Amino acid sequence: MLPGELLITKLKKDRIYPEFVQINEEHLELAEELIDIYRNFTGKKKSEIDEILGEFEHGLNFKRVRGLRTLLERRCIFKSRFAVEPVLARRAVFEEASIKKITNRNEREKVIETIAHNLNISVADLEQSLWADHESEVVLDEFAPLNPEELLKFYNLSLAQTLLFKSTGMSISVKGNYKEIFRAIKYFGLMYISESGNKIRVEGASSLLKLSEKYGTSLAKLLPVIVNSDGWEIDAEIVIRRDTPRIYHFVMDSKSRKNLLMSKEKEVKATFDSRIEERFYNEFLALSAAKSWELIREPDAVFTGKGVFIPDFKFKHKEMEIETYFEIVGFWTEEYIKRKLSKLRAMPFNILVAIDKNLACFNAAHFELGLHQPVILYNRKVPVGEVVRYLARIEGEGIKRQVERLKGMRIEIEGDIVSIKDIAMRYRVSKEAVRECLNHPDYVVFKEVVVKKVLLREVKDKLVSINIKLYVEARRIIEDIGLPNPDEVLAHLGFKVKWKGLDPNAATIELD
């Protein structure tokens, strides 16, 4: 985006258009000259660069050149260069000058020489340090160059974004990339309505009572994601406040793409809409439940009869084919909450919903949830324990379904030691379902493996025959055979471990 005072537009009836710069020889030459100044003036003061660039504004469109300069300057890193901190240098000089009560240049020079001597630096270094932190004195340290065509296209995109900042709302039609657009809408915290995947209505900052500047910037940031789509069209209402405020339409489609800079970012990274969501995410990952469930931030859009819905989270079981969604409803306008609840009611499957019970509209007498979805009410913090219990319940229901399916099958087992994970993968069920269903007369079911009873008797006979007493030796023998979790095996074979402190080397075993 550009500063609002650099916006250049033209009006035609009820339409408003940003005055894009044409990608022609004249403008490419101007862009190249501006880029070369920043590229070649590394190490120069900002005031020197500004003086040279100012010459380009004479006789040319002032706003155009200043807009290009603004974009280039954002690619610069300016640094202060000084021998001593400017604040300290000024303080020392001013204190000395107040004592000497200087009235002319000669007295000033003597003060400068005195302070330079006291600071053990040269007079030139002190003079440079005095105002080195002022904007005009900073020095160009780095510049990230781009080619002239990229600069002009970047300018056009920024011009369109600046116009969108004034929008009361925008209608979007898109072909392809709609998932990324919905992800971006969610990422930027925009309020939207959509009856289908390719037609979206986004509310603008001017239509809201709060967050106008921040929200307007977020709406403008959506444009690069739209431009990356295969085919698109936007129709935004722009408020022009002159003598009488009037709404104009800003219409643009993918035919304009050749004049706009395409974003190199393929996807918008999922992030958090609020601290409440972020806190829940981090707390859940710290729990043991995270070993069974993958928590996916901002999953794909879900299409319902009431429009498009992007849940905050999706839980995906790591072993079973179970997925469930989770939505955290925080503070928004009453109308927005009603639209969201309407979408939730139209969901084709269950979704866990956490609702802030402090919502103003939630407490209103005329407001009803009317949800047929599992609901958790929270106050400032989502109760992670309740979410985990909900997941445990649907996990248990999933295991029951798998157990019922396995009961009608004959589970084939071959070998002395068989991994339960391998069996689960073969029958496409969870390990829990395998453990619950497996009841073979020749095998014993442990936590991770199924072991032939004959092999277990051989292990017990070996431990007894060679009179193993030390716990660590018994563990080594069991592990060498290929059995995981020796403690589980020892307990099954009837051995008891006697501990003497925490040192396993001092522990012994004996038969009960």
Other C-beta atoms lying within 10 Å of the C-beta of residue 65: 19
Task: For residues 287 and 368, state if they share a domain.
Answer: yes
Q: pTM of this prediction? A: 0.60
Is position 146 within any domain? Answer: no
How large is the C-alpha radius of gyration of the chain? 35
pLDDT at residue 102, as a whole number: 77
Phi first, then psi: what are they for 131, rounded to 5°?
-125, 25
Contact 234, 250 (CB under 8 A): yes
Structure confidence by residue, pLDDT tens digits, 135-174: 777 888 899 989 999 999 999 999 999 998 888 889 999 8
Of the ranges 187-196, 243-252, 333-342, the best mean pLDDT one: 243-252
The residue out of 383, 412, 434 marking a domain boundary is: 383
- Residue range 65-74, pLDDT digits in tens: 999 999 999 9
pLDDT of residue 119: 86
pLDDT bracket for residue 272 (50, 70, 90): low
- On whether the CB atoms of residues 268 and 180 are closer than 8 A, the answer is yes
Q: Is residue 312 part of a domain?
A: yes
Q: Is residue 94 part of a domain?
A: yes
| Cβ-contact 236, 164 below 8 angstroms | yes
Q: Is residue 40 part of a domain?
A: no
- Written as six digits, the tokens of 327 are 């939505």
Residue 233, domain member (yes or no) = yes
Residues 206-233 have a mean pLDDT of 76
Query: What CATH number is attached to the domain comprising 189?
Result: 3.30.70
| Lowest model confidence (mean pLDDT) among 50-59, 233-242, 279-288, 377-386 | 50-59
The per-residue pLDDT for range 304-330, each reduced to its tens digit, is 666 667 788 999 998 888 899 898 877
More confident residue, 133 or 250: 250
Per-residue b/e over 108-122, b at no fewer than 16 CB within 10 Å? eeebbeebbeebebe
Asked if the structure places residue 406 within a domain, the reply is: no
Q: Tell me if 238 sits within 8 A of 249, measured CB to CB.
A: yes
Q: How many domains does the chain have?
A: 4
Task: Assess if residue 243 is contained within a domain.
Answer: yes
- 2 has pLDDT over 80: yes
The β-bridge relationship of strands 231-240 and 246-253 is antiparallel
User: Residue 210: its pLDDT value, please?
Assistant: 47
Domain end residue (candidates: 221, 254, 287): 254
- pLDDT at position 246 is 86
Domain that holds residue 250: 165-254
Asked whether residue 121 falls in the same domain as residue 200, the answer is no
pLDDT for residue 361 is more than 60: no
